[in-house]
Structure 1
Amino acid sequence: MAHTVLVAYGSTYGSTAELAHTVGAVLDKAGLTADVRPAGEVRDLSPYDAVVLGGAVYAGRWQRDARRFARRHRRALSRRPLWLFSSGPLDSSASQRDLPPPPSVQRVARRLGARGQATFGGCLDERARGRVARMILQSGKGGDFRDFDAVSEWASGIAREIGSLLDTGD
């Protein structure tokens, strides 16, 4: 029986959504059924055996839809295997070492008993809108610092863990 995993994400400009779709593709390839959806669209977690929740980080905080999802579904999330990811550093730091999650994500991980967390580089390009995005781009920062190989490797570990957890009933 294929286990169904929700990969929910909060993304403003779409780069975190692309990371979530990479996670979903890896889970699918491992024999799981991944349902990749924007966090703001998910109403019910009952169809899912496990959850991966990701969000872009802006000024040290997770994107609004990811925060709201974690709050709205806290009871259901605490009863399922849960992994969290963040995207955001606009430099190569996430590829060079394990970065701790922002404090707000650490709190979510503790409260919900997340099994793991990862921070990946972010992406901000000239298509980004908004005052803060324009200021960042004008300061010479920005670019694409996502490491899709690292995302795939992390998701492969989740797939192995889900398989052993759910197949043994732990």
Structure 2
Amino acid sequence: MAKNVMIAYGSRYGCTEEVSKEIGKTLEAAGITTKIINLGGLKESDIPSIENFDGVLVGSGIKVGKWTNEADLFIDKNKDRFKDTIFGMFACAGFVANDPEKSKDMYVEEKIQKLGLNPDVYDIFGGVFDLSRKSKAGFMDRKIMSIAAKGLEREKGIKIEKKGKNDFRDWNQIKLFTLKFAELVKSK
């Protein structure tokens, strides 16, 4: 019988949504049926029960050090149920480019400890600073991203497109994380 997985995510500007969709494609290619749920704006009754899945991945974008509210609420509501399934977590944050280990500790490991979670896999991926006019981020958020991007350029020598899209995601890292999760789900 085919295994099935839910990817539930919260995304502010689209980065985590794109990562979730790529994870879904990789899982599907590995023979795992995948249901991708954007938690943003959904009523609790619209979200399928995690008991219907062999595995659950929860992802969120990070803004000012915080997960999205919807991802936080989903985790809080289901934290006791995660023990009965293969459970993974991931976050996307622009500051991963500055210090990946510190980012993983601050944005994922601290959340795991604070909530008493025990995910089978977890990771943090680079984010996107979209400074273009086509960005989903509003004017003020682009200004804040611009300041953060200038800091990355100054401190790490990372070339920043001042009016463009700066993508810090490592798609190979994301694929390896996904394949590890797929192995766990298939072995369940």
- Using the size of structure 1 for normalisation, the TM-score is 0.83
Aligned residues: 163
Show structure 1 runs of 5+ residues with no match: none
Structure 2 counterpart of 1:109, which letter? I
Show structure 2 runs of 5+ residues with no match: 150-164
Alpha-carbon contact 1:100-1:119 (below 8 Å) kept: yes
Displacement of 1:78 in angstroms is 2.7
Deviates more, 1:130-139 or 1:56-65: 130-139
Do structure 1's residue 157 and structure 2's residue 165 form an aligned pair?
Answer: no
Alpha-carbon contact 1:51-1:82 (below 8 Å) kept: yes
Alpha-carbon contact 1:49-1:81 (below 8 Å) kept: yes
Structure 1 counterpart of 2:22, which letter? T
Structure 2 counterpart of 1:58, which letter? K
Q: Percent identity?
A: 25
| 1:148–1:83 CA distance, 2 compared to 1 (3 A) | same
Displacement of 1:124 in angstroms is 2.5
| 1:140–1:70 CA distance, 2 compared to 1 (3 A) | closer
The whole-number CA distance in structure 1 between the counterparts of 2:36 and 2:138 is 26
Displacement of 1:89 in angstroms is 2.2
Please point out which of 74, 79, 82 is paired with 1:77.
82
Structure 1 counterpart of 2:169, which letter? R
Displacement of 1:72 in angstroms is 1.6
Alpha-carbon contact 2:95-2:103 (below 8 Å) kept: no
* CA-to-aligned-CA distance 1:47-69 (integer Å, 9 cap, x gap): 11110111011111111111111
RMSD: 2.3
> Deviating runs (4+, > 6 A) in structure 1?
none
Structure 2 counterpart of 1:114, which letter? P
- Using the size of structure 2 for normalisation, the TM-score is 0.76
SS at match of 1:112: coil
Q: What does residue 155 of structure 2 align with? A: none
Alpha-carbon contact 1:93-1:121 (below 8 Å) kept: no
Larger Rg: 2
